[in-house]
């Protein structure tokens, strides 16, 4: 089963989504997404041979398993909605033809209202912050127009909060499957360093962007709550406004594959 929320509903507030979870006929693993425009218009297409619901379900699940959508479903959304110190998010869909739908980013929520849309180009970094990769892909630019495709990415992250400061460490393991230059062995370390630098820069930018919006999809407040028996949400919301961040990334390229 699938639930799609149009733009007007997402921005107005979707508190009633909790009624889905209370309905015993609806499973907690139902996938939920937002849409550009109305859900009705998006569902008017003819996608695939097994029906629109199956097509969209498979699209979202494929992007969760193999690409850049963090794990999400009805249960996770409602849990994050009610969680103190964490804001929910949903994948966003866009109709690009009568026979095609694509992932158009991530809808970021404050309580039950969509307040921003994370573009596709930021989704890789977002997933590093809020979830983990078991598979993944990312292209790394090197000097002289050379590129390396790092694939089969596995990742995990840790969050440490001390003295109004959040330190996030990210560890990535990957394999270079494609490389457009020569002598791949000589640039492996460059690939690792360039990817580390890019991830640290972009993740830090996202953290500050969320702070400016007053939202916490990473769940730093929830992390603080687990560490503090006397957690005060109002106090944390004030502290979050001036919270400092640093991101450290360690990339390890385990092996290499095809060279173009």
Q: What is the predicted pLDDT for the residue at 63?
A: 97
pLDDT of residue 23: 60
Percent residues over pLDDT 70 in the chain: 93
228 versus 157: the higher-pLDDT residue is 157
Percent of the chain surpassing pLDDT 90: 74
**Average pLDDT rounded to a whole number, residues 202-228:** 97
98-144 residue pLDDT tens: 999 999 999 999 989 999 999 999 999 999 999 999 999 999 988 87
Q: What domains are defined for the chain?
A: 1-118 (no CATH), 121-260 (3.30.300.210)
- Residue 22 pLDDT: 62
Structure confidence at residue 160 (pLDDT): 97
pLDDT of residue 17: 63
Q: What is the pLDDT of residue 260?
A: 47
Q: What is the reported pLDDT for 116?
A: 98
Cα 34 to chain centroid distance, Å, stands at: 14
- Cβ neighbours of residue 191 under 8 Å, at least 6 residues apart? 140, 142, 148, 150, 176, 251, 253
Give residue 99's pLDDT: 93
How large is the average pLDDT for residues 244-255?
94
Which is more confidently placed, 15 or 179? 179
pLDDT in tens, 161-205: 998 999 999 999 999 988 887 777 778 999 999 999 999 999 999
Are 187 and 144 in contact, with CB atoms under 8 Å apart?
no
Average pLDDT over every residue of 136-157:
90
């Amino acid at each position: 089963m699938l639930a799609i929320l149009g733009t007007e509903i997402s921005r107005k507030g979707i508190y009633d989504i909790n009624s889905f979870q209370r309905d015993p006929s609806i499973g907690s693993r139902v996938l939920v997404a937002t849409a550009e425009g109305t859900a009705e218009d998006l569902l008017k297409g003819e996608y695939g041979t097994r029906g629109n619901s199956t097509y969209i379900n498979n699209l979202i699940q494929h992007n969760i398993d193999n690409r850049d959508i963090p794990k999400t479903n009805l249960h996770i959304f409602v849990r994050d909605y009610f969680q103190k110190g964490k804001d929910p998010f949903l994948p966003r869909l866009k109709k690009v033809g009568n026979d095609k739908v694509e992932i158009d980013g991530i809808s970021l929520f404050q309580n039950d209202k969509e307040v921003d849309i994370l573009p596709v180009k930021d989704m890789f970094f977002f997933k590093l912050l809020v979830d983990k990769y078991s598979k993944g892909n990312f292209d790394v630019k090197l000097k002289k127009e050379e590129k390396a495709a790092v694939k089969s990415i596995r990742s995990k992250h840790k969050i440490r909060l001390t003295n109004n400061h959040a330190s996030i460490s990210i560890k990535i393991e990957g394999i270079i499957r494609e490389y457009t230059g020569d002598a791949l062995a000589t640039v492996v370390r460059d690939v690792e360093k360039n990817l580390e630098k890019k991830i640290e820069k972009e993740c830090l930018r996202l953290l500050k962007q969320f702070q400016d919006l007053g939202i916490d999809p990473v769940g730093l407040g929830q992390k603080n709550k687990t560490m503090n028996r006397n957690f005060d949400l109002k106090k944390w919301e004030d502290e979050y406004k001036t919270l400092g961040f640093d991101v450290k990334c360690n990339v390890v390229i385990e092996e290499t594959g095809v060279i173009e």
